[in-house]
Amino acid sequence: MNKLIFLFLLFSVCLFAQDNTVKNRDYFGALTTEEREIIVDRGTEKAFSGNYLDLFKAGLYVCKACNNPLFKSDSKFKSNCGWPSFDDEIKNSLIRIEDNSYGMQRVEICCANCKGHLGHVFEGEMLTEKNLRHCVNSISIKFISKK
């Protein structure tokens, strides 16, 4: 009996270890150096430099690393802050983390699936009715046009 429990535990540990390996390889291994600096090392792309800043076509924005759907194009708005801005997210697609770096109190947003860094979310700026600005690096996301 004890042997069976031991084997079961060993099997579980192997499954867990394998899962992590797969995640690292599949989600982050294929990223370019530039993408890794933002997505894995939680960097910020230069303001007004991103590909999606002025894109307002109908479609979906997914996580660059794992393709998790994050934002719909109808939540994108022009904020003039220098990064793509969304006033809503696809339900359960993001996680929020308190970020006190650089002497600022901000809320970091990451992909709920792969935990890749996306940007920050700001509340109370009254820029749209929903009163939220998800400030997202273009490099962290991928646009899929509506067909």
Would you please indicate which residues are annotated as catalytic (active-site) residues?
A: 135
Helix H segments across the chain? Answer: 2-23, 33-39
Residues 64-83 that bind Zn ion (CB under 5 A): 65-66, 68
**CA nearest 76: which of 14, 34, 133?**
133
In the complex, the smallest distance separating the C-beta of residue 111 from Zn ion, rounded to whole angstroms, is 3
Residues 6+ apart with CB under 8 A from 37: 43
Question: Does the footprint of Zn ion cover residue 140 (CB under 5 A)?
Answer: no
Question: Does the footprint of Zn ion cover residue 114 (CB under 5 A)?
Answer: yes
Among residues 116, 119, 132, 141, the one that binds Zn ion under rule CB under 5 A: 116
Among residues 62, 63, 109, 121, the one that binds Zn ion under rule CB under 5 A: 63
Q: Between 37 and 128, name the residue whose CB sits nearer to Zn ion.
A: 37
Q: Between 97 and 127, name the residue whose CB sits nearer to Zn ion.
A: 97
- Angle value at C-alpha 99, between 93 and 102, nearest 5 degrees: 140
Question: Does the footprint of Zn ion cover residue 111 (CB under 5 A)?
Answer: yes
Which structure tokens are listed for 17?
């270890």
Interface segment toward Zn ion; rule CB under 5 A; list 31-39, 45-53, 84-92, 113-121: 113-121
Long-range contacts of 27-30 (CB under 8 A, 24+ apart): 27/65, 27/66, 27/114, 27/116, 28/65, 28/114, 28/116
Number of residues that bind Zn ion (CB under 5 A): 8
- Count Cβ atoms below 10 Å from residue 130 Cβ, excluding itself: 12
- Footprint on this chain of Zn ion (rule: CB under 5 A): 63, 65-66, 68, 111, 113-114, 116
